[in-house]
Amino acid sequence: MLKTEKNNMANINNKNLKLAIQKQGRLTEETLDFLRKSGLEFESYNQRLFSSCRNFPLEILYVRDNDIPNYVASGTVDLGILGQNILNEKRPKVKKLLNLRYGFCSLILAVPKESGIQDISKLKGKTIATSYPQSTKKFFKNNNVPVKVINISGSVEIAPALNIAQAIVDLISTGSTLALNDLKVLTKIYDSEAILIANEETFKNGKKDLLKKLITRFKGVLSAKDYKYIMMDVPEEVLPKIKKIIPGLKSSTASQLTTSGWLSIQTVIKEDVFWETIEKLKQVGASGIIVLPIEKIIL
Ligand code: AMP
């Protein structure tokens, strides 16, 4: 720890909200990006232990993600951002507040391709290597398949080749590491993504109003991810059809164009039905469609 950092740690303002995030790893960059999109201004660089936000009473602490559940449960910090997988594994007494829509991955059970194993019952009495022993034991217990679980902290995929396990339970996102190690997915145990958790007391103490403000900012960024802003020109007579395609149209703007009989419409549409909606709009005669990303939606 740098001497100056150590001294600065004593300067953390205890009235401020404290948020723990992963110091170095897969979630770090997207977490910093998410916080900045929420309008928070702070410095961040390697070796930093904490940053104070310039424009919000928030201290960000950079820690190992495995330690975040304990820090939040014990009240060392008020909030944490981590993978749902760590919460499932450690099961601390904390409150989950939001799914943050990045850091997607799945905890899966995999076996060597040439093992011929197609069904988890065939793993009865076998050894399973994992960094997620609690999730693994729970999964096999629920499926009534007794196995031996060994805890390995990294490079779990190598365990079958080393003959120390016949199957593995590990996190994957694309599955390319599994394929490289001649393993195949037998089944998925659960899906995971980055989440925001809080200490239960934070809702009762003097920080609850700050917490509400911060959550409003986070939700604004998350809602914006779900919608696109569109502008289009439509013949006046097709307006009833357009209203059927976009049910939320009552809150949009329609203005007269200089070409008589034409309207300009501005509205938002949901990302998950985006292409279907655009195709339908074109079919009924919408033209000059312009689509823009939305930075935030405050509901
Ligand atoms: P790491 O930096 O490897 O410790 O990973 C931190 C977190 O990233 C994990 O706890 C997961 O929530 C998330 N993650 C997303 N994709 C993956 C993946 N393919 N393997 C491991 N973790 C992943």
Three state DSSP letters for the chain: CCHHHHHHHCCCCCCCEEEEEECCCCCHHHHHHHHHHCCCCCCCCCCCCEEECCCCCEEEEEECHHHHHHHHHHCCCCEEEEEHHHHHHHCCCCEEEEECCCCCEEEEEEEEHHHCCCCHHHHCCCEEEECCHHHHHHHHHHCCCCCEEEECCCCHHHCCCCCCCCEEEEEECCCHHHHHCCEEEEEEEEEECEEEEECHHHHCCCCHHHHHHHHHHHHHHHHHHHEEEEEEEEEHHHHHHHHHHCHHHHHCEEEECCCCCEEEEEEEEEHHHHHHHHHHHHHCCCEEEEEEECCCCCC
For residue 296, what are its two tokens? 């935030």
Pocket of ligand 1 (CB under 6 A): 25-27, 65, 83, 85-86, 103, 105, 171-173, 192
Confidence (pTM): 0.87
> How many angstroms separate the alpha carbon of residue 36 from the centre of ligand 1?
21
State which ligand 1 atom lies nearest to the alpha carbon of 103. Answer: 15
Query: What is the 29 CA–ligand 1 centroid distance (Å)?
Result: 12
Can you tell me which residue has the tokens 């201290």? 59
**Based on the number of CB atoms within 10 Å of its own CB, is 167 exposed (0-12), middle (13-18) or buried (19 or more)?**
buried
Ligand 1 atom at minimum distance from 172 CA: 19
User: 193 CA distance to ligand 1 centroid (A)?
Assistant: 9
Of the residues 22, 23, 26, 107, which should be mutated to test ligand 1's pocket, given the most ligand atoms within 8 Å of the CB? 26
Q: How far is the CA of 80 from the centre of ligand 1 (A)?
A: 16
Residue nearest to atom 8 of ligand 1 (CA): 26
124 three-state secondary structure: coil
The confidence score (pLDDT) of residue 249 equals 54
- Which residues of the chain fall short of a pLDDT of 50? 1-2, 5, 7
Using the mean position of ligand 1's atoms as its centre, give its distance from the Cα of residue 26 in Å: 6
Amino acid 8: pLDDT: 58
Mutating to test ligand 1, I would choose from 105, 131, 157, 192 the residue with most ligand atoms within 8 A of its C-beta, which is 105
Residue 206 has a pLDDT of: 84
